Chains A and B, each alone.
Chain A
Amino acid sequence: MRPLKVFSLVLIAWIAATNLISDAWAARQMHSITDRSLQIPTVEQLTRVLTLQDYNTRVVTIGVTLLGLAAGVIAPFLLLRKRSLVSDTLSHGSLPGICLAFVIMVAAGGSGKSLPGLLAGAVVTALISMGWLMLISSWTRLKQDTAMGIVLSVTFGFGIALLGIIQKMATGSAAGLETFVYGKTASMIASDAKMIAAVAAIVIVVTVLLFKEFTALCFDQGFARSQGWPVFLLDTLLMALCIAATVIGLQAVGLILMVAFLIIPAAAARFWTDNLRRLVIISALIGAFSGWLGAAVSALMPRMPAGAVIVLICGFIFMLSMFFGQTRGIMHRALEHLRTVQKVAHQHLLRAMYENLEGRGFMQDGSISLDVLDEAVDIEDLLDKRSWTMQKLQNIIHRAVKKASVRALLSEGKIFFTKQGLEEGRRVVRNHRLWEMYLIAHASVAAGQVDHEADRIEHILSSELVEELEDLLEKRSSRIPASAHKIS
């Protein structure tokens, strides 16, 4: 996953959602005398809705929560299969189907409002647009993103045109259709919610059952095929689940923003874990939470488009995850970087102390007596070793004292090794010199140049690599070789 790409996607969804909400606000301004639906709800109302006490809000909220759960469960696989945006093509491709289904149902004498009928139409054209997408990718040399752009815009444009025609039709009952574009939970009735719940349950069960198969498909399809797994069938099934989740989300979230519901929960969850099972669970929880809260908010403020609210909540969770995520968040990385910087500074201090003592005639021939622990090192002397400022050096010493590798008499400007500090210092000096010797002997680097290289590598040499170096340089004893160059 490229963080920048995901970030920009989230940003686009966010902007779209805020636009919708400001539209809603504008609408409220116009109707403010008669319509008070956007007023801040009372605490009592809030608790009633959030705890599902009214029958109507209960079915809607449960339905949308399950939808979020289903979207969250399927989302990680779309992300890992790098198919996240295909769902956007599918959802836009469903609009002509909705319109055509409406026309057919009206022509057949119905009201055209049956949700299963409309969604069946949505599935048909979503499938057609997926087929079209696959044809473009396999028959031409156009890239997937170009193909998606073509299919998405053309099908959506066709749908909007149909919508315009329908609104001009005499029946006049077509007004409800555009709720599929932006999503409106208020238009949901109990039977709709039940259908959503049923499809969501199927999506979740199938995904859980095929967890291992989807994992293999997403990780290494070549291997999966060599094992005789029907990769094409699994891929189709994954897309079918994606279509199912998209279509049941059309009414509540709307086709423009549904894609966000199939991307953001997984993208946010990725910041928290490196384990696929946990990824799916966290993603499902984020989806369910956003669905639940979004449905509740939209129940309290019917003018607030539910899809926008849901996506905003998802986006908010994404931002939080991006900064505070436990395994990949920005904070976590920054902290890890800081820890490395501090470790490097700490080891540089120890090596500087060691070399200072060595320069004063202690530890001759690399042998060490514990008397060294009583030998003071002047902080002033250490300042010349590196481009440390006094302030910085004092900070480093302060942390080293905390780590118990150094004792300090700051009033006299003197510091001492502790036993533990001496051992680590020895190890770092040894790593440094082994690497220098290696560079000189095997990489033909001049002795004057090796110090800088070794300075960076000394902190990260693994014990395995040190053993290899020892073998190579025939330095089996744990003694410390003399420096390859003059120590300043």
Chain B
Amino acid sequence: MTMSLSTVFSKDHATDPGGAANQHQKSPLFVHDLTVAYHRKPVLWDIDLEIPEGKLVGIIGPNGAGKSTLIKAVLGLIPTASGRVLIYGKPYKQQRNIVGYVPQRESVDWDFPVSALDVVTMGRYDKIGWCKPVSQPHKLAALQALERVGMADYAKRQISQLSGGQQQRVFLARALAQDALVYFMDEPFVGVDAATEKAIVEVLHELRANGKTCFVVHHDLQTVSDYFDWVILLNMRVVNSGPVNEVFNKENLEMTYGGRLTHLAEAAEAFTQKMDIKS
């Protein structure tokens, strides 16, 4: 397996002028010239990104800016018109086992006849392999993941009997059970209770402490500076990408959101004031 991967990689490397792949091996996400279109209408345009390892990265932008689309394009869930995406220097297809994914909660039918533990166990399916039943060690790993999000007591509960926040934590636990290096989370903070928000933030910090990188689509501008150390400001193209304290300012936010949302600009102002107090 590793043999074949490395041969594929070296071939890839050989065809890559200037050894760009080699250069980006350290980066958990390198995106070059990515363009995505729905029905010929471009949604993402010429995306270039290079994110350093071990950061909590917030993906910020107005509705329809293509935040979820960016994640889905990176994960190969939707076709891309052009561009390349590298996870630690290799295409996503070769790096699936080090990438964890938390889709939007609304994307599935929560009336499905499975328990919380069953859902989390799905994060281990790839490691278990085709046609094999779930063995005890994998079940334990899933239970541990549930415990990390404070949901161990609800393992046997049918998922429709969980609150929205608890369902979100189950999704997060499933990604944790994947035991990945890079995580992509699509709006995990939307519509959750305070306990869940706290649990997610704790998990994010824990992941960062272990050198993992997390990409989080986020809506609430007030909390951006508290939660993340890197932001990608997105509105069909990348307005800016960089450390929060350099990039997350009023000017960039206005460019991202256009003149449309004044209260967002106010939020940015409040944030700048806060920064002033800090410095």
Q: Which residues of B contact A (CB under 8 A)?
A: 72, 75-77, 93, 96, 99, 101, 103, 107-109, 111-115, 118-119, 122, 125-126, 128, 130-134, 158, 160, 174, 194-195
Contact = CB atoms under 8 A, between A and B. Distances in A.
B122 A80 contact: no
Contact of A210 (B96, B115, B131): B131
A213 B128 CA distance: 11
A222 B112 contact: no
B214 to A, nearest CB: 15
B174 to A, nearest CB: 8
A225 B96 contact: no
Contact of B158 (A215, A274, A464): A274
Contact of B125 (A216, A274, A464): A216
Given A216-B122, A226-B96, A80 B112 contact: yes
A212 B133 CA distance: 8
B279 to A, nearest CB: 33
A227 B108 contact: no
A225 B109 CA distance: 17
Given A215-B114, A227-B126, A274-B115, 15 more contacts: A1-B111, A80-B109, A80-B112, A219-B112, A220-B107, A220-B122, A223-B101, A223-B122, A223-B174, A225-B75, A226-B77, A227-B96, A229-B125, A275-B115, A276-B112
A284 interface: no
A220 B108 contact: yes
Contacts of A215: 114, 118, 122
A218 interface: yes
A279 interface: yes
A426 interface: no
Nearest to A225: B77
Contacts of A468: 194
A342 to B, nearest CB: 21
A212 B125 contact: yes
B122 A219 contact: yes
Contact of B103 (A1, A210, A216, A223): A223
Nearest to A219: B112
B131 A279 contact: no
A273 B158 CA distance: 10
A223 B112 CA distance: 15
Contacts of B125: 212-213, 216, 227, 229
B264 to A, nearest CB: 26
Interface string A258-288: 0000000000001001111001000000000
Nearest to B128: A212
9 contacts: A212-B125, A216-B125, A219-B114, A225-B75, A226-B77, A229-B125, A229-B126, A275-B158, A276-B112
Interface in A199-224: 209-210, 212-213, 215-216, 218-220, 222-223
A80 B113 CA distance: 9
A172 interface: no
Nearest to A270: B113
Contacts of B99: 226
A228 interface: yes
Contacts of B115: 274-275
A80 B110 CA distance: 11
B118 A276 contact: yes
Nearest to B178: A227
Contacts of A213: 125, 130-131
B96 A228 contact: yes
A274 B122 contact: no
B77 A273 contact: no
Nearest to A269: B113
B107 A276 contact: no
A222 B107 contact: yes
A216 B128 CA distance: 13
A227 to B, nearest CB: 5
Contacts of A274: 113, 115, 158, 160
Task: Give the most central of A210, A218, A228: most B CB within 10 Å.
Answer: A228
A248 B15 CA distance: 52
Task: Give the most central of A1, A227, A270, A273: most B CB within 10 Å.
Answer: A227
Nearest to A280: B113
A279 B111 CA distance: 13
Nearest to B130: A213
A222 B77 contact: yes
A210 B112 CA distance: 18
B76 A225 contact: yes
B114 A212 contact: no
Q: Which 10 A-B pairs have the closest CB atoms?
A: A274-B158, A226-B101, A228-B96, A209-B131, A226-B75, A276-B113, A220-B108, A227-B126, A274-B113, A222-B103
Contacts of B174: 223
A140 to B, nearest CB: 13
Contacts of B103: 220, 222-223, 226
Contacts of A225: 75-77
A183 to B, nearest CB: 30
Contacts of A464: 195
B158 A228 contact: no
Nearest to A273: B113
Task: Give the most central of A210, A219, A226: most B CB within 10 Å.
Answer: A226
A276 B111 CA distance: 11
A181 B200 CA distance: 57
B262 to A, nearest CB: 26
B109 to A, nearest CB: 8
B131 A228 contact: no
A71 to B, nearest CB: 19
Contacts of A212: 125, 128, 132-134
Contacts of A220: 103, 107-108, 122
B247 to A, nearest CB: 28
B209 to A, nearest CB: 25
A273 B115 CA distance: 12
A222 B195 CA distance: 27
A274 B162 CA distance: 13
Contacts of B130: 210, 213
A329 to B, nearest CB: 15
